[in-house]
Structure 1
Amino acid sequence: MKKLVLFLTASLILSSCSIENDGPRIAADFAEVTEIELPEFFEQGKTYEIKVTYLLPTACHTAAGLEVKRGNAEGPGRRDIYVAGVATYDQNVVTCNRQSEDLEKTAKFAIGIDEEDPYTFYLWTGLDNDLENEFTIIEVPVVGPGEPNPGE
């Protein structure tokens, strides 16, 4: 009997909910990375705060931060760092009439340098004609603790 009451209660609750909701349906887009502040080199064992500037696709988008991922959990791809801005928008808005000169946004992330080989940053800049991701690639060398600048 208790199972039947629970089933009927759940059915009533579910049937009273409308699937067609006119409220905002938020979706996310990548946003072009236009600038990144990286040091000339990293020192192994240190953590760095990295500032990134990205560009919202339209004035109808809202800044949602950064997407930062490593190429792999282990091995050489672990030092491949993919960075993209993230912008959200309401999918219910069919046409965007808002204008804004303030589409440039900044965000920060921290990275711990725990390997001795260079780190490669892949900054998302958009899609090509074949809808393939395009990146600006920057490699940052790593020195051991107390070692001199690799450029000296």
Structure 2
Amino acid sequence: MREIKIILAFFLVSTIFGCSGDDNTKFFYELVPIEEVMIPSEFNSNETYRITVSYYRPSDCHAFNGFDYDRLDNERTVAVVNVVVDRDNCRAIERLDLIDVSFDFLVGQEESYIFRFWQGKNENGDNQFLTIEVPVVQ
């Protein structure tokens, strides 16, 4: 019985210390501009629609992490979020192939929805948006 306790204690200690966070990988999150949007021209109430946006991956250190999505009344602001590994040897990727990512949108009871898709900042540092209004027909 004592041997079993010693083995369990050893297993517990090695599990706790074996998983210690000695990985010093640093990362941060970054918005990347949306280049294209595929969205229906109209919605029906209480239906779900897939909305697809496309963006260019800036470097091999960037990877899709999700969406920054804000809602206010019938307005929706959408931005693509990438996680970026913070390292010195990141390589820029040519802007050849767009990356498509999607989210599902459930239509409520609004008469229309205004989507604002983040497209980066202008030379003055002001946020730029592609704004699309989609009417709800039923």
For the criterion TM > 0.5, the same-fold answer is yes
SS state at 2:24 partner: coil
CA spacing shift, 1:90–1:43, aligned 2, 3 Å: same
Q: Which amino acid aligns with 1:67?
A: D
SS state at 2:61 partner: coil
Q: C-alpha root-mean-square deviation of aligned residues, in Å?
A: 2.3
Q: Quick one: distance in 2 between partners of 1:142 and 1:42?
A: 5
My pick for the range that moved more, 111-120 or 100-109, is 100-109
> Does residue 85 of structure 2 align to residue 84 of structure 1?
no
Report the counterpart of residue 4 of structure 2 in structure 1: none
Q: Which amino acid aligns with 1:131?
A: G
TM-score normalised per structure 1: 0.67
Q: Quick one: distance in 2 between partners of 1:140 and 1:97?
A: 38
Report the counterpart of residue 13 of structure 1 in structure 2: none
Query: Structure 1: where are the runs of 5+ without partners?
Result: 1-16, 73-77, 145-152
TM-score normalised per structure 2: 0.73
Report the counterpart of residue 103 of structure 2 in structure 1: 109
1:21-100 equivalent positions in 2, closer than 5 A = 23-70=24-71, 72=72, 78-91=73-86, 93-97=87-91, 99=93
Q: Give the % identical residues.
A: 27
Q: Quick one: distance in 2 between partners of 1:105 and 1:88?
A: 15
1:84-119 CA distance string (max 9 Å, x none): 11111122x135235456663221111111123210
Q: Quick one: distance in 1 between partners of 2:38 and 2:65?
A: 19
Query: Structure 2: where are the runs of 5+ without partners?
Result: 1-19
Report the counterpart of residue 11 of structure 2 in structure 1: none
SS state at 1:42 partner: coil
Aligned residues: 119
Q: Quick one: distance in 1 between partners of 2:123 and 2:95?
A: 27
